[in-house]
Amino acid sequence: MQHDPSRTSYYVGDEFYQSLVDSYADWQTDDSEITDPALRDTCRMLLDKEARLLDQNRLDDWLTLYVPECLYWVPATPHGGDPRTEIAVCFDDRRRIEDRIYRLQNEYAWSQRPLSRTARLITNVSAFSTKDPDTLMVRSTFLTNEFQAGDKRSYTGWYGHKLGFQNGGWKILVKQVNLIDCDQNLRNLSIIL
Amino acid sequence: MTPDDSFTSGITRPTGAQFDFNELIFEDRVHQSIYTEEAIFREEMRKVFGGVWVYLAHESQIPENDNFVASQLGLRPIIVVRDSTGRIRALYNRCTHRGSTVCRQQQGSAKSFVCPYHGWSYFNSGKISGVPWPDGYADDFSDPKYNLAQVPRVQSYRGFIFGTLNPDMPSLEDYLGGVKKPLDDWLDRHPGGKLSFCDANRLKFNGNWKLLYDNSADGYHVIFSHRSLLAMENRLNEADDEDKGMSYYKSSPDNAPFYVKVFENGHHYKDKRPAVDTSPGGLWAIEGPHPGMEHYEAIIRDKLGDKAGSVLDLASSEPVNINIFPNLHILGNHVQVSQPVSLTETDTTWWGTAVIDDKDELHGCVDAVNALRMRTQESFPNFGELDDLMNFEQIQAGLAGVEDEWVYMHRGLGIPDRIKRDTDGYLIGPPTDEVFLRETMQVYKRLMMNEPNLVIGREIEAAPD
Ligand code: FES
Ligand SMILES: [Fe+2]
């Protein structure tokens, strides 16, 4: 039976969690680092595009970079944790990302009224191969500056993107956002990182 | 030009360090200075945070002997430790030599704490164990004054650890009073009547700590402050029914079957269960969408058939708010702790809770229930609380207009037969009334008008209660 992941959440189950935990364990090894500049550049372009669309608040366009059964994950523990037994800052499947976007576009989402302006820097991009040739892991370092209602703040850390090659291009399967202060009390984290 | 008299009022804003709380707190209103005056905040850190029982930590954070977790009692840095003999203590994280913190980890296990500055060391009971090159002292350190200070009274109620510096406080159980009942009910819906903590959504806002407490049983704000959340949770509904989440607030909540109840000592309780179907599966039916919901629901229904409803309810939010003055809130499945950082800055940590099922009362479904619970619990801090916190920040900003002195909390006041008493004598009102806030402010006023006799412990052998 086919399910629309925008409406129902059948894919977030034991198997999904296990493969998530597995794919985020020990992936940044020296011998799996991709040295082909063209492939790395492809990854970098995808990350740059993602940052641009988020800075431009084009959230619906941003989501087209993701596969239907995707995940946006901001762990609350520095080691990433096991999301089956630990609360995360954000753990959004497709439907919940769409919820998040819906809310951000709702004029009564007070935490985002006025809307934040953001400027994201992404650097130190390294790509890593996996056992599956159609799956890559990408590590990058980010600094997201946010301005809202007279106040400037920033978030920093590193991203772990899991990419899949689908229909002739690379799409985002999972975005893991590792804030350096993910286990601290954070003020109005209502933007998408 | 003379101002129109009808638009003027006597400015009673106090100056200097002396505040007369009779002039600041009235039945229907409070003065803005209780949120904006540094001197009042400093007094609160003694008279409230120290003067009453303050929540410090949960026993599931220190399950074994020698486990510790960092906490605070007001602004005092505290180490809550289960010492080597199993006794729970709240040590001041302050070296008796020259004041450095002796523990800089959030959580861990330690038989002793060694000060990084000059190496004085302490057993996890707080007793001093040694100093480097003791020959350099004429003293032999047998005087208990060198032991770490500790909160002299530390007591637990069903896993929740509290401390007070005030020897005149009644026992913790007496302090909790009527609020024990909803707390018991909340715990008892889980197998074994217990829960464990499993990390947290950690938030903060630039506003006074009382703004959060003032909101804790407020059913008046829900439709307005959480408008985007309610819209979001119901966006995928079939047809026109809007029944997800807190939708029961939508039609005339003043006359709704649910209520707010006010206990002694500033504690209160909003019981929303009468507004929802609480037969098995009823809570699950009104949960908004969460990751993994349909997947695990199908598995649990498959496995348990008729019995699935009550198991799924354990993954759902319990529709209650249990507020324990001054810093502990139980809501949904969360244990929310608030922590003043400064006059205008407050941390609020939403601890997630997981079900423990030692006796397999959930028929092998406990992992599925917990996987669901993690996701249901992430929803409100992400999509609801942030809007409240923005509103608290904007109250703090608005209060900078200091000549406009009053903050009103008179909803429901003076309307005959609106507020009733239950058979135990506790006030009960509509969920949208500010009766809980008025009553809490009277408790706060009494506390602020009395200087408590605060003491610390050193004599670690003497058994505190
Ligand atoms: S301050 Fe701790 S040993 Fe000196
Ligand atoms: Fe709220």
Closest CA to B283 of B248, B256, B253: B248
Ligand 1 atom closest to B119 (CA): 3
Contacts of A83 in chain B (CB under 8 A): 374
Same domain, B194 and B318: yes
For position B125, which CATH number holds? 2.102.10.10
- What single-letter amino acid sits at B208? N
Contacts of A111 in chain B (CB under 8 A): 386-387, 389-390
Residue whose pair of structure tokens reads 């975005």 in the numeric block: A175
- What single-letter amino acid sits at B204? K
> Helix crossing, B293-304 with B366-380: angle to 10°?
150
Residue A138 and residue A127 in contact, taking contact as beta carbons nearer than 8 Å: yes
Report how many domains make up chain B. Answer: 2
Same domain, B116 and B222: no
Same domain, B232 and B345: yes
Displacement of CA A186 from its chain's centroid (Å): 18
How far apart, in Å, are the Cα atoms of A136 and each of A41, A88, A132, B392? 13, 24, 8, 43
Interface test with A, best of B232, B300, B342 (most A CBs within 10 A): B232
- Residue A85 touches partner B, C-beta closer than 8 Å: yes
DSSP per position, B124-174: TTS-EEE-SSGGG-S--S-SGGGSPPB-SEEEEETTEEEEES-TTS--HHH
Task: Tell which wins on pLDDT, B247 or B184.
Answer: B184
pLDDT band at B251 (very low <50, low <70, confident <90, very high): confident
- Residue A3 touches partner B, C-beta closer than 8 Å: yes
A-contacting residues in B 290-319 (Cβ below 8 Å): 290-296, 298-299
Of B201, B290, B291, the CB nearest to A89: B201
Q: Which residues have CB atoms below 5 A from the ion given as ligand 2? A: B 388
Domain membership of residue A167 as a residue range: 14-179
**At residue B48, what are phi and psi to the nearest 5 degrees?**
-100, -60
Displacement of CA B278 from its chain's centroid (Å): 25
**At residue A125, what are phi and psi to the nearest 5 degrees?**
-80, 120
Same domain, B114 and B194: no
What pLDDT, in 10s, does the model give residues A99-110? 999 999 999 999
As given in the structure block, the two tokens for residue B291 are 């990751």
What is the C-alpha to C-alpha distance for residues B46 and B40, in angstroms, rounded to an integer? 10
Residue B453 lies inside a defined structural domain of this protein: no
A-contacting residues in B 212-271 (Cβ below 8 Å): 225, 227-229, 231-233, 235-236
Q: DSSP label at B382?
A: I
Of A12, A86, A184, the CB nearest to B198: A86
In angstroms, the separation between the Cα of residue A191 and the nearest Cα of chain B is: 10
Report how many domains make up chain A. Answer: 1
Q: How many CA atoms lie within 13 A of A19 on its CB side?
A: 14
For ligand 1, atom 4: residue with the closest CA: B118
How far apart, in Å, are the Cα atoms of B248 and each of B222, B244, B253, B287, B376? 10, 8, 8, 12, 18
In sequence order, the 6+-apart residues with CB closer than 8 A to the CB of B96 are: B120, B128, B145, B146, B147, B148, B149
Angle at B275 between CA B270 and CA B276, to 5 degrees: 115
> Helix crossing, B435-448 with B38-47: angle to 10°?
80
Residue B28 lies inside a defined structural domain of this protein: no
Residue A47 and residue A140 in contact, taking contact as beta carbons nearer than 8 Å: yes
Residue A161 and residue A140 in contact, taking contact as beta carbons nearer than 8 Å: yes
For ligand 1, atom 3: residue with the closest CA: B118
What is the C-alpha to C-alpha distance for residues A40 and A47, in angstroms, rounded to an integer? 11
Q: DSSP label at B248?
A: G
For ligand 1, atom 1: residue with the closest CA: B98
Q: What average pLDDT does the segment B328-347 reach?
A: 98
CA of residue B88 to ligand 1 center, whole Å: 24
At A169 the pLDDT is: 95
- Residue B204 touches partner A, C-beta closer than 8 Å: yes
What pLDDT, in 10s, does the model give residues A82-95? 999 999 999 999 99
- Residue A5 touches partner B, C-beta closer than 8 Å: no
Residues with CB under 6 A from ligand 1: B 95, 97-100, 115, 117-120
What pLDDT, in 10s, does the model give residues B361-383? 999 999 999 999 999 999 999 99
Comparing alpha-carbon positions, the chain A residue that sits nearest to B231 is: A103
The three-state (H, E, C) secondary structure of chain A, written as one string: CCCCCCCCCCCCCHHHHHHHHHHCCCCCCHHHECCCHHHHHHHHHHHHHHHHHHHCCCHHHHHCCEEEEEEEEEECCCCCCCCCCCCEEEEEEHHHHHHHHHHHCCCCCHHHCCCCEEEEEEEEEEEEECCCCCEEEEEEEEEEEEEECCEEEEEEEEEEEEEEEECCEEEEEEEEEEECCCCCCEECCCCCC
pLDDT band at A1 (very low <50, low <70, confident <90, very high): low
How far apart, in Å, are the Cα atoms of A129 and each of A29, A40, A133, A175, B461? 9, 11, 7, 16, 60
Same domain, B146 and B225: no
Domain membership of residue B269 as a residue range: 180-447
Same domain, B64 and B200: no
Residue B27 lies inside a defined structural domain of this protein: no
Same domain, B304 and B387: yes
CA of residue B154 to ligand 2 center, whole Å: 31
- What single-letter amino acid sits at B350? W
Kindly determine whether residue B231 and residue A3, on different chains, have CB atoms separated by under 8 Å: no
Same domain, B123 and B192: no
In sequence order, the 6+-apart residues with CB closer than 8 A to the CB of A92 are: A71, A72, A73, A99, A100, B291
For position A68, which CATH number holds? 3.10.450.50
Same domain, B199 and B81: no
Residue B34 lies inside a defined structural domain of this protein: no
In sequence order, the 6+-apart residues with CB closer than 8 A to the CB of A9 are: A93, A94, A95, A96, B289, B290, B291, B292, B293, B294, B295
Same domain, B129 and B190: no
pLDDT at B253 over 90: no
For position B286, which CATH number holds? 3.90.380.10
Residue B127 and residue B147 in contact, taking contact as beta carbons nearer than 8 Å: yes
Residue B220 and residue B408 in contact, taking contact as beta carbons nearer than 8 Å: no
What pLDDT, in 10s, does the model give residues B110-140? 999 999 999 999 999 999 999 999 999 999 9
Q: DSSP label at B211?
A: H
Please measure the distance between the N-terminal and C-terminal CA atoms of chain A and give it in whole angstroms. 34
**pLDDT over 90 percentage in chain B:** 88
As given in the structure block, the two tokens for residue B51 are 């003067």
For chain B, how many residues are written? 465
Comparing alpha-carbon positions, the chain A residue that sits nearest to B201 is: A89
Residue A2 lies inside a defined structural domain of this protein: no
pLDDT at B9 over 50: no
Same domain, B328 and B393: yes
What pLDDT, in 10s, does the model give residues B20-32? 999 999 999 999 9
Q: How many CA atoms lie within 13 A of B293 on its CB side?
A: 24
Q: What average pLDDT does the segment A140-167 reach?
A: 96
Same domain, B60 and B188: no
